[in-house]
Amino acid sequence: MSRITIILIVAAMFLAYAGPAGSQEAQVLRPLPLKVPGEMLSLAPPAEGQEDALKELPVYRLKHPDTTAQELSRLAEGAFGIREGRTEQSEDRSVVAGQGGTLEVYRSSSGLWFQDQSQLWNPEAKPTLIGEEEARKAADSLLQDFGLLPRGEVLEVSYLGVAGTQLSILNAGSGQREDRQLDVQISYGLSVRGDGFTLPVTGGGAKYNVVFGDRGRIIGYIGPRLEVERVEGTYPLLSREEADHRFVVMTSNVKLESYEATLAYYLAPNGEAQDYLAPVYVYSGMLSTDQGPVPMRNVIIPATGFTDFIDLGGRVRMAERSPEMVRQAEVGDPDEAATEVAIQRTLQTGPLQPLQPLQGAALQNIPLRTMASSIYEAGTSWIGPLGGLEGSPANAQGFVDEMAADGWSIDFNWGDANAWESDWNANDDDWVDDEDIVFYTGHAGVDGWTLSPPNDDSLHRAECSPAHSPADMWGSKDLEWVIIAACGPLEDDILSPGGGDVFRWNTAFDGLHQLLGYGAVTYDNTAEGRTVARYMKQGKTIIDSWFRTAVEIQPSTNTYSAPYGPRVWVGVMYVYKSGTTSPYNDHLWTHGSVAPDPTNPDTYIAMWSPT
């Protein structure tokens, strides 16, 4: 029998408890709907009665096979068709590059990444695509013939379904929109079969994606290489009541409309070392904001006392804003308020150790814009522990450290109560639009993302348009690229019903090159900022850097129904004027070409890829 088994899990999400009696005021919660297509394996609760019966779960010791030079060559040539390959060793991986693409093997996990850079995520490609049945057969053969499946009986590989990179082009003059698919992607997930239970595996490393381009040629691949060596131990399972209590405490600073939890095992992205496979609770929820309901990023809580397998992030010390600063920003003249804040606000950094001496404690409390100047500037805004996200501080700090090490000036790194909405609209000329690139991580939805007062607790797309007063479009001063590491804001009907039209964001562009983000609910993590910055510094395009970061770090599915799931999508929106260079091929400054600012654009483009 084939080691690839089809596991179809269709289950209704169940309403979680608000926490132990007396832990806090009772909350009125409503269940989140879950509608999983028959061909899609999505993270779901255990079978009926299974969770109640589980009192303990095993933790498994993992083994990652070594990849010899001979094996690397066999995979490069035989599996992925690389010709005249040259093998190189980088800091954390072995690389074979040649005609037809590049194969990378992570030394920490033996996981594989293959990409044909000329075809994968290329908006100019117009391939002849094969159907699902042919693609599924070819993907099955690849995994089986080249020994890419896990060995043993504990881990099972399950078919998730078919998707593909989507491209949409809007002609601003005619209003006509053209949609087309650029590839066919076959996806598989992992599950753990133990004594009396079967649970899904979640995390960036828990998937196999095979991407087919023109006429069935493989143009992309990601997958783990691992096996279960032994049971490390069996640990008591944290009760749902106790897990719910921890989650409610974690999110006590936000208005939580509803939440759900599912039980799973967690496997880190291929670029991170992980020696153990252990159970977790995955929590999802809906937040109530001044702009309406917004999904929160999924968060992970260890389901046993064993926690050595996962980095849950850490809290960053906050630099408080004084009441005087808040009052000025609320009622004072916007220009005066911005000037006063710029003088008083200092660069916030956390206790995390820097990658270079330039960052970290040595820069604490240095007034903004008084550092050694660089012609290239970056900033970050983030919602972290204040919004129930433990990973955001390290996520943003990783971006800051990598960019500073590249010689960029970091003008701000504002988190939680310091991440003001006004930095993005009323005072954007002094903050967000005064940078070349801005990284945000926190919560987002179709129409915007959460921030902190003054004003309100979220940024809405209507506040980034010429109709808004003041007219707060981005790029009119300096901003080229915005990265939103959250649960949006690029949802669209082409991805999931109810996502609307992504070109609702076209009014935000006034010289802005690219708006990068997601088109579905994603998972809180500590690695997106560091990873995307590293890839950009290696000379990859900004789009390629962001898409790869998302595919490596995010799982293929989440716990949501439309419009925020069940498939996870990474996306970008960019604009240009006919007869000028399109910014889709933009690189980070000094690391490759950058298109001219696309003012008065007549063409709007969006592209998404399943993760």
Residue 250 within a domain? no
Judge whether 585 lies within some domain: yes
Tokens, residue 400: 């800051």
Among 591, 586, 557, 236, which Cα is nearest to 403's?
591
Per-residue pLDDT band for 425 (boundaries 50, 70, 90) equals confident
Q: Per DSSP, what are the bridge partners of residue 57?
A: 235
Final residue of a structural domain among 231, 259, 275: 231
pLDDT in tens, 134-152: 999 999 999 999 999 998 8
Residue 90 falls inside a structural domain:
yes
User: Is residue 133 situated within a structural domain?
Assistant: yes
Of 179, 212, 231, the residue at which a domain comes to its end is 231
How many domains does the chain divide into? 2
Give the integer Cα–Cα distance in Å for 303 and 299: 12
Tokens matching residue 439: 């990284």
- 503 band by pLDDT with thresholds 50, 70 and 90: very high
348 within domain boundaries: no
Range of the domain at 532: 323-327+373-610
At residue 16, does pLDDT exceed 70?
A: no
- Asked if residue 436 lies in contact with residue 588, where contact means CB atoms within 8 angstroms, the answer is no
Alpha-carbon distance of 164 to 167, in angstroms, equals 10
Q: What is the pLDDT of residues 148-197, one digit of tens each?
A: 999 889 999 999 999 999 999 999 999 999 999 999 999 999 999 999 99
- In the listed set 201, 231, 261, which residue is the last one of a domain according to the structure? 231
- The CATH code of the domain that includes 473 is 3.40.50
Contact 407, 374 (CB under 8 A): yes
**Secondary structure (3-state) at 576:** strand
What sign has the CA pseudo-torsion 142, 148, 151, 156?
negative
Question: Rounded distance, CA 59 to CA 230, Å?
Answer: 9
Task: Provide the pLDDT for residue 427.
Answer: 85
Q: What is the pLDDT of residues 209-239, one digit of tens each?
A: 999 999 999 999 999 999 999 999 999 999 9
d(CA 416, CA 381): 8
The Cα 426–Cα 455 span in angstroms is 10
Domain-located, residue 484: yes
343 against 117, higher pLDDT: 117
Is residue 50 situated within a structural domain? no
Per the model's pLDDT, the better-predicted residue between 7 and 204 turns out to be 204
Q: Are 189 and 207 in contact (CB under 8 A)?
A: yes
